[in-house]
A = this chain, B = another copy of it.
């Protein structure tokens, strides 16, 4: 059961509204690397976690609930970048046809469909898709999916940080980036509590695997090449169960 409080988790200020940046922020809301994905991913994973694994369920549940608040932060940022901006620019537009054309890169739906508000879509206007959510029913696979989601998510947030000069937007992104750092660490910490995290799933008896091919690097180069002597062609395997 969920509850809400009107205050944002972290305050959002925009000094120079920028509709183009609003469009780019949408990637962090409804994009494959965005907050809708992680929020729903952690919630669906929590709902799939059986009672016996109570602490993992709580961890997932609390973090999923936190991510709902990140959607709210970003939706606020999008609206602030769109609304104030367009008031001024609408006047300019009357005087200046060139300006109007330059604004052409903006996502038209953000005005036409949403009246200058945030939408559950990505920066190309592609709607959020339920298949972005990974909740596999296997804890180790889910944890790797979560590390990966926070890695691409933090990468996106740092790229957005580089593309704005607005101090309010930079401050907000520094908060979200900090949370991504924490979340990468917490999912890796959870992975370390598992007995045998590689290969996933641990439940399949490895002796049933085809023993000829489970620790051999296969080259598909057209002509045979020498062994390049890399950590994936020689030495002990990372899981400690084989020899490359």
Interface residues of chain A, those whose CB is within 8 Å of chain B, are 1-9, 20, 23-24, 27, 30-33, 36, 40, 43-44, 47-48, 55, 58-59, 61-63, 65-66, 68-69, 71-72, 75-76, 79, 98, 100-109, 111-138, 140-141, 144-145, 147-148, 150-152, 154-156, 158-161, 163, 171, 174-175, 177-182, 184-186, 188-190, 192-193, 198-201, 203-204, 206, 208-223, 228, 230-232, 237-239, 242, 244
Q: Which residues of B contact A214 (CB under 8 A)?
A: 177-179, 181-182
Q: Which residues of B contact A59 (CB under 8 A)?
A: 230, 232
Give the nearest-CB partner of A141 in chain B: B151
Question: B109 near A135 (CB under 8 angstroms)?
Answer: no
Give the nearest-CB partner of A231 in chain B: B189
Give the nearest-CB partner of A190 in chain B: B232
Q: Which residues of B contact A244 (CB under 8 A)?
A: 185
Question: A127 near B125 (CB under 8 angstroms)?
Answer: no
